[in-house]
Structure 1
Amino acid sequence: MTRVAVLVGSLRTDSVNRQIAESLRAQAPADVQIDIVEGLGDVPFYNEDIDADAPPAAATSVREQVAAADRVLVVTPEYNATMPAVLNNAIDWLSRPYGAGALVGKPFGVLGVTPTPYGGKWAHEHARLSATIAGAVVVEDVTVSQTSIDVDVLNDAEVQGRLRGALETLVAYVPEPSAA
């Protein structure tokens, strides 16, 4: 069983990106468990002072959910040409303690939709960069940026196929052996 922790970049209840995450969970192969990480909106902005002694329960919960996964998938819109603050904050918490955070060594992918001509490409690039700095292993072939607002992404067979394909690529990813 491969466990995939999904971080949704939108807190809105009816977010299309949340619906995509739920759709992927419903369609996941039998040997893949999709866990949508809940509680991102409850995590305070990262502050080393509050992380030092006793991290807040919400941050600890997010860390534990991601640490328990084999893979991490971000499904996010783009806000003002970057990733939403809630996603950036989650990656900040997941990057600590430095060198031993919950993202270290985890295969990581990003996908999502946003009704702009750029389809979220900057949010996806920024999330991949931040995750790389946090120690994740970014799987470059796991990217779906939907640009057309004229497409019903939840019911379009081609878009759904690309989303499932991205998930399958992430699940199948085998890290390169490290040189010793």
Structure 2
Amino acid sequence: MPASAVGQRRRASVSLRPRPPSSNGQRGDYAIFIAVIVAALLLFGGIAYDAPRLITARQHAVYNASEAAKVAVATIAAGGTQAHASSAVQARLAAVPALYGAPTSLLRLECVGSLVEVTVQTWYRNRSALAVFRERQTITATGAAEAQLIGPSGEPSGRGYLPECPLTI
């Protein structure tokens, strides 16, 4: 065999060997993984930021509802009407500073017998990546208070209901 034929055979056999994989085919694999991880971290970070604030806003609404019910039952027990109680509750809620920029407003006031029930409403605006899914959450809370009617001498009154409130719904 001539020397030129041997060189050609070697070149042919070298070119038939499988080539090691090049890095060009794997360029986007890590980018997709990193994008998914970053998105998940932003979502969980948003939950970690907004969840305690939302719980605080709900607790604040429940506290305001309970305090508003106490104001309403005191107003009615002192001889006021439901309209007087409603305006007293609205004044009480207006005096409370707004938590996270969301004021609390009176939604409903009902009384039956000696029990007064007040429902208030406020909202919380998501400030993290969760705002993409739900920008604002409405919070409704109900508080109740019962009047303990006491006579002039300090003993419990025989009347078990407030005069302004009906005995049944």
Task: State whether TM-score is above 0.5.
Answer: no
What TM bracket, shorter-length normalisation?
A: under 0.3
Largest Rg, 1 or 2: 2
Task: Judging by fraction of residues, say which structure has more helix.
Answer: 2
